[in-house]
Amino acid sequence: MSETDTTPRTLADDLRARGDDALAVLLRARPDLATPTPSDIGQLASRAASRPSVAWALDRLDLAHLSTLAAMSALEPPVTLAALRRQVDADDARISAIVARLHASALVWGRPDGWHVVREARDALRVLGPRGPYDGPPALRTREVDDRRMRHASAGSVMELLQRVEHLLATWGEQPPPVLRSGGRGVRDVRNAASLLGVGTDEVEFLLDLTQAARLLGRAIHAANGEVWAPTTVFDAWREKPPADRWIALTSAWMSQPGRRVRAQVLRTLASADGAAYTDVEDVVDAVAWHLPRAEEGRDDLVRRTLVEATWLGVVALDALSPAGAVLGLPDARDVVDRLLPGSVTHVLVQADLTAVAPGPLEPALRARLEDVAVVESRGGATVYRFTPASLRRALDLGWPASEIHAFLTEISATPIPQPLTYLVDDTARLHGRLRLGDAASYLRADDPAELDALLADPTLGPTLHRIAPTVVVSTVRTELLAERLAASGRQAVAEEPGGVLRVHRRDLVRAEAVDVGLRPPPDPAEAVAALRAGEMAASLRPADGHDDQRGSLATMAQLREAAEAQQRMWVAYMDQAGTRTERVVDPLRVDAGWLTAFDHRTQKVQRFAVHRIVQVASAP
């Protein structure tokens, strides 16, 4: 449909005169109008003029458009461009462009010789009055940033983010903290997490909120501790994905949190600097305020907070939009971020000081096995792992024999295995299992009676032990508590099964169910416009009498069968299960067992309709 020059009398007439492309532009600018899809243009106009929808549209206007609309609201309708020029301090081309956008968004209707402001917008802005400026936001003061330095800083921030999230959630998976009665997290747990990651509590709170929004963290029921915070089942799949995919999942969750309009505008403002860095945070605050003058309360603080969070995420680096941040939300984001980050490696550099350096991000399976035998000493572009007696005992407890540890280290090391590490593995394996405990309440068995002599002489442990054989003592203390007391005295005991076989420990991982809180995307504008046109056609074909059919379902079925055989288009009024009446134009295909199968011009699909719910039917030309 092409737009006409006829002066419309109402907003609905204005919308009916618009072409399909203009209606699609409207639905993209105001997607709330298409959810659910309006039945016809009249319903679209009514929805576009409603207070909630108008307020939603006003909140997305910058200061130039909002001030121009306020100036139009203060003038008596119809508003001419000549009258508007006397109120707005801008040139004619700028005023015309602003009014054209307001018209495209259905906040004003009419023609250039006489514009009308939608009533709800007029009532909301009448007291605002012209303000400006109209030529754009305040300029950012910037400084240049070296591109190579920027790329390195951005890649480092991204890798640190991924390592911290994985380390935090993996730790909480083994030792989940309890959920407070208020539903929050304990201060002590947050502080412990900050100490674990080596960051401040503010950043830990941010990471926890982020992972919860990304469905990586949730609540689970623990057998011993009740409701706890634990990684979700989504976390296990997330940690196996490439780094670029993991980062995109986190940043997408960040952008979808409350305050998303302000966050998006902050990134657009930084993008306008063309790779330069801002020199003053307040310049960014002022620019966002111009773009979003009606944003939610606390907008300026949210801008400042967004810049800090974006730096933690690697979206901003060195006070400039990073290469990764510049492609956030774009189709090629994964490829760009993947090229920015270092490639994964399958080897480490084992050194004589009992450390191993991973020169890049390790493959997930390799990293998991290495963390069984070593502890992470430092993270970053190169992760440093340290081999200790405790880490090697943990591997032995998990069922690794000494020979397998040697073979694994030889396989992954790009350097020869130093002799001190070989000795450490062998010594730890030789001492492993010399003390064994089981349930009596508990018993303790040793290969060397002298081991038990020392324990019985210990003033802390001796009173709880009773010797029943040269190499066996029993205790009334539970196995777990006895193991803790032995560890506190510097002795390591391993559990064994009733037959004397060493008990292999498995990681007790807690997982929560992921809760889907995603937003439903708005309908495709082209499909919505097609449905609107079909609704208009159905309204134009409505029978003049307007009365529901009283002949019954059999007569309706007979008429629809004849239409299907003759391939005749029909107009039907249909009452759905909720009691909502809709009018549709359909091409009947067949009628069978009380159901009409027809091509529905409203949905552009073949649909099935219960004949007993068709309350009126008529031929459509």
Q: pLDDT of 290-299, one tens digit each? A: 999 988 778 9
**What does the pLDDT read at residue 499?**
64
Number of separate helices (H) and strands (E) present in the chain: 26, 22
Return the pLDDT at 534: 80
Q: What is the pLDDT of residue 621?
A: 73
pLDDT of residue 546: 57
pLDDT of the residue at 500: 67
Q: Would you state the pLDDT for residue 306?
A: 96
What is the spatial distance between Cα 288 and Cα 265, in angstroms, rounded to a whole number?
A: 6
Write out the E strands in 372-505. 375-378, 383-386, 435-438, 442-446, 465-469, 472-475, 494-495
pLDDT tens digits, one per residue of 440-479: 778 788 888 888 888 888 888 888 888 888 888 888 788 8
**Could you count the other beta carbons within 10 Å of the beta carbon of residue 590?**
12
pLDDT score for 471:
84
Beta strands in 322-434 (DSSP E): 349-350, 355-358, 375-378, 383-386
Structure pTM?
Answer: 0.75
pLDDT at 1: 39
Which pLDDT belongs to residue 549?
A: 58
**What is the DSSP annotation of 510-565?**
--BPP---PPPPPPPHHHHHHHHHHHHHHHHT--SS-PPP-S-HHHHHHHHHHHHH
Q: Which residues of the chain have pLDDT under 70?
A: 1-5, 127-130, 132, 381, 439, 498-509, 515-521, 545-551
Which residues have C-beta within 8 Å of that of residue 53, sequence separation ≥ 6? 30, 32, 33, 47
Total number of residues shown for the chain:
621
